[in-house]
Structure 1
Amino acid sequence: MRLNNCGRPHPCPPSPPRLRRNFRWRGRYIVPDLKINVPFTWHANNGNVQMIAGSEHHRIHFTNLIYNHHLYTYTYKWPGLQPEFLPPLESCAPLFQFSLRDLNAFFATSQYVGPEILLGKIKRYVHHFRASVVVPELPSGFYPRLPVSSADIYVDQSDSTQFVQVLHFGLQNIYDPSLDEWIVINQFSNRPGRVILPPVCT
């Protein structure tokens, strides 16, 4: 049996998801169990990355950033959270050191599920990948492990740097009763985006 370049008898899987250093995307952020569907932007500028869901006029409003090799997250509002449970306005410290390169390294560990067609106003031909975080990292065998987070990532079949849809589940969505939230992208540009660290984070 002749093997291909990836050592398999079948076609090699496509390249894993990867974010470019510059892009501007728009779409919707969806929390199905809370019946929330709000505007969403995802921008990158020279390796700094920012996503914003909702606004002060919507039921949810938060931002996540990779800025100068650090990870930030800030929630302005979320159903069921009183102001005293939200980050104080004078504090938005970085969580830890984390870069776009680190994020892409995580995406590179994702497993290929297969080609799919997403039905909607237009058909989207995508490759489906799944990335997960399990702790602790242990070898194969009977060891206790906890699934902390997972993400189903759907990228355009012609370009693995163009994310079409993301379902992410896990403890990072601790405010959501079902822990699962959706990102749907419908506008794409490779121009540098606008990434701004909120004043409370400086």
Structure 2
Amino acid sequence: MASRRTRRTLVSVVAGGLFALGVVAPGPEAAPLPRAAQADGPTAPDPREPRPPLLPADFQGTGRYIVRDLGIDVPFTWQGRDGNSQMTAGGPDHPIWFTNLIYENTLYTLTYRWPNIPLYPPQLCSKVPGFFNRQIFNDKLKTARYVGPEILQGDQNRHVDHWRVGVVGGSTVPGEFFRFPLALGDIYVDQHDPSRWRQVLQFGLQNLFDPELDEWFTLDTFEHRPGEVTLPDRCPPPTP
């Protein structure tokens, strides 16, 4: 998420992912940090070949969006239909409320509310310049580095593969010219189905409204059936 309206470039990239500039005062007591634990004790070698995360064309996911240093923990949905997708965190009755979309080869971000940041109405819907779609997103995910198998602990322990993907600005020649990190995403997907997403940590310029530059979302449910994707009326038409 400059303003928050342009804060989300994705990689949260990811996914539907995002740009802003601001200093925010600390909020109430922090919400618990989502936990990922390595399995304890000796384990046999894992013969399977891990596959990188994949965003499916049709899906519905529900969970929580967490900004730990601000004490924010709000409802979160992520839905896809025919390759378009939409993230929504919070709502009219929550301290944060925004939506990010990949819609008809275009990336959008619209922030209605963020703590201590004056978002003067009417909030503008930002169309990120350039051509962007699900295929481009998945191609970037193919460059993710495999961190390892983990267990997300909760009401039910979920076995996941942990992947890390990043975006770097500047020269493409390491060590020759100045380079700088733009965004980083830690992505946790089901070990048996990398198109079933469980948790994402976003860190970087796309989170500049957050003092610690990091935000989580966790998904309690994720189903492979078409969701609802709606481009808000205030958003400009998609890129031709």
Same fold per superposition (TM over 0.5):
yes
Q: Secondary structure at the match of 1:15?
A: coil
Q: How many residues align?
A: 190
Q: 2:151 aligned to 117, 140, 149, which one?
A: 117
Q: Secondary structure at the match of 2:175?
A: coil
**Cα distance per residue 1:7-49 (max 9 Å; x no partner):** xxx9674111010000000000000000000000000000110
Task: Output the amino acid matched with 2:111.
Answer: T
Q: Is the 8 A contact 2:63 2:218 kept in 1?
A: yes
Q: 1:104 aligned to 134, 138, 147, which one?
A: 138
Give 5+ residue unaligned stretches, structure 2: 1-45
Q: 2:113 aligned to 74, 77, 81, which one?
A: 77
Distance in 2, matches of 1:44 and 1:20, equals 8
Q: 1:13 to 1:136 in 2, by over 3 A?
A: farther
Counterpart residue number, 2:87: 51
Structure with bigger strand share is: 1
Written as runs of structure 1 = structure 2, the 5 A alignment for 1:117-156 is 117-156=151-190
Q: 2:229 aligned to 182, 195, 200, which one?
A: 195
| TM-score, length basis structure 2 | 0.76
| TM-score, length basis structure 1 | 0.89
Q: CA deviation at 1:93?
A: 4.1
Q: CA deviation at 1:113?
A: 0.5
Task: Output the amino acid matched with 1:125.
Answer: H
Distance in 2, matches of 1:35 and 1:93, equals 27
Task: Output the amino acid matched with 1:154.
Answer: Y
Give 5+ residue unaligned stretches, structure 1: 1-9
Q: Is the 8 A contact 2:171 2:178 kept in 1?
A: no
Task: Output the amino acid matched with 1:92.
Answer: C
Q: Secondary structure at the match of 2:95?
A: coil
Runs of 4+ in 1 over 6 A off after TM superposition: none
- Percent sequence identity is 48
